[in-house]
Amino acid sequence: MTATQTSRYPSRVEPVPRLLPRHDPVVWGDASLGPLDADRLGRYERVGFLEMESLLRPDEVTELLAEVDRLATDPDILTSERAVREPGDQTLRSVFEVHRVSERFAALCADERLVGPARQILGSDVYVHQSRVNRKPGFRGREFYWHSDFETWHIEDGMPAMRALSVSISLTANRIDNGSLMIIPGSHRRYVSCVGETPDDHYRQSLRAQEYGVPDDESLQALVDDAGGIRTVVGGAGSVVMFDCNAMHGSNGNITPYARCNVFVVFNSVENRLVEPFGGLSPRPGFLADRS
């Protein structure tokens, strides 16, 4: 049986891209199940993301930044696959699976201020599908091109349904000009089926610069036109944004002097555990997609 027959969200199998409807709910729970009221849940359902200013205290941010610096100089981390460099040089871009290698990040990923809303939106208990620190140093931080995380998690990891979300925690100020997260509001309601057959071990290249699972220009234009624009998410250190797994997002490079550092935690429903990848590939390593 082929990937197109088994998947409700086929991608990388047809010669032309397509915009497909979403078949899953956006909000699986309700206001009685957690800290978010009906208005905030409704906004998340409409636009696909939710901002929370000053969720972490300044002292917590300071401790987490120090932990990022420690990980960035740990030779065991730097020589492992968890450490991803910028394309074209050796600047550290990301460290994955931080909740497995750091007690501080493990505690952050279990913090009820994050887990509570995630559990409420997804309508079940949750687990950490992926965690990482993303660094964009001043003057030379590279861009992250437009993408839907779910497209990759579905095709390369075997995530069955759109029942996951990402939490981005700002450890430095996310400004309008230093490569902050950009989201196309409402884009989570449609799925971009991409073109191109994915090679084995694609993750080795895609973590530096993605080539497959990249949306086409026409689909992106349609999503932006429908949204009436693009939203750049800004906020001070300690602010948080939660966004749907299928929200189309990316970020520009950082040519300002202002470094940007964010922690990303992906919560998946325990009722949405990974199966075999829908793209017919070997599963990606556990530091990218927890299968335990």
Tokens of 267: 């919560």
At 204, phi and psi to the nearest 5? -60, -35
Residue 205: band (very low, low, confident or very high) from pLDDT cuts 50, 70, 90: low
pLDDT in tens, 35-44: 999 999 999 9
Helix (H, G, I), strand (E, B) or coil at 106: helix
Which range has the worst mean pLDDT, 60-74, 108-122, 192-206, 237-251? 192-206
What is the pLDDT, as a whole number, of residue 92? 84
Cα–Cα distance measured from residue 277 to residue 29, given in angstroms and rounded to the nearest whole number = 27
- Among the ranges 83-87, 204-208, 237-241, which has the highest mean pLDDT value? 237-241
Across the chain, mean pLDDT equals 93
Tokens of 59: 């002292």
pLDDT in tens, 12-63: 999 999 999 999 999 999 999 999 999 999 999 999 999 999 999 999 999 9
Q: Which CATH class is domain 3-139+148-269?
A: mainly beta
Helix (H, G, I), strand (E, B) or coil at 206: helix
What is the pLDDT, as a whole number, of residue 129? 98
What is the pLDDT, as a whole number, of residue 5? 46
Cα–Cα distance measured from residue 237 to residue 262, given in angstroms and rounded to the nearest whole number = 9
Evaluate if pTM is beyond 0.85: yes
Tokens of 216: 């086409």
Which range has the worst mean pLDDT, 4-8, 61-65, 112-116, 195-199? 4-8
Interval 274-291 mean pLDDT: 94
Residue 211: band (very low, low, confident or very high) from pLDDT cuts 50, 70, 90: low
